[in-house]
Amino acid sequence: TAEVMSHVTAHFGKALEECRTESGLSPEILEEFQHFWSEDFEVVHRELGCALICMSNKFSLLQDDTRIHHVNMHDYVKGFPNGEVLSEKMVKLIHNCEKQFDDITDDCQRTVKVAACFKVDAKKEGIAPEVAMIEAVMERY
Ligand code: B8M
C-alpha cells in the first residue's frame, strides 16, 4: 500500500546524503528523496540512477549485476509496519521494469530507467505515496 511505501521511502531516503558525492546528484536535481514521488519530479537524470545504486548497496538490496536482490528486498520491505502486504508486489514491479531495460549496459542509466518505470507502475497500482505521507513518517527513522 501507499502507506507502507511511505515508510520504505522515508527510511531508504536517509541514505541519500551519504551517496551525493559519489553519485554527483546535486540538490538542484533532487533536494530531498521524498520528492522522488512528486508529480512534477521527472525521473530522468543518470546521476539519480547512480545514487539509487549507492543507496541500495547501503542496505544490500542489489546483486552483483546491480539488479535487485529478491530475497534481501523482500526482507527489507517486510521489516516495516504491514510490510508483508507490499514486499511481493514491489519486488514484482521492479523486476518487471528491469526486464524492459535489460539491454542498457550503463548501470546508472539503466537504473534510472527502471526507477522511472517503477514510479509509473506503482502509481497505476495505487501504491505510490504522496510526499506529505512520507514527510509525516520521516521523523520515525
Ligand atoms: C530500492 C527500494 C527503494 C524504495 C523506495 C522508493 C523508491 C525508489 C525507487 C527506485 C527503484 C529502483 C531500484 C533499482 C533497481 C535496479 O535494477
For residue 23, what is its C-alpha cell?
553519485
- What is the SS3 assignment for 68? strand
- Structural domains for the chain: 2-140 (1.10.238.20)
Q: For residue 64, how far is its CA from the centre of ligand 1 (angstroms)?
A: 16
Read off the pTM: 0.97
SS (H, E, C) 12-30: HHHHHHHHHHHHCCCCCCC
Instruction: List ligand 1's pocket residues with C-beta within 6 A.
Output: 8-9, 12, 36, 52, 56, 61, 66-68, 94, 98, 111, 114-115, 118
- The ipTM assigned to this model is 0.94
For the segment 94-107, what is each residue's pLDDT rounded down to a tens digit?
999 999 999 999 99
Q: What pLDDT is attached to residue 56?
A: 98
Q: Which of 8, 133, 10 is nearest to 73 (CA)?
A: 8
| Contact of 45 with 29, CB cutoff 8 Å | yes
For the segment 29-82, what is each residue's pLDDT rounded down to a tens digit?
999 999 999 999 999 999 999 999 999 999 999 999 999 999 999 999 999 999
Buried-state track 39-70, b at ≥16 Cβ within 10 A, e below 16? eebebebbbbbbbbbbbbeeeebbeeebbbbb
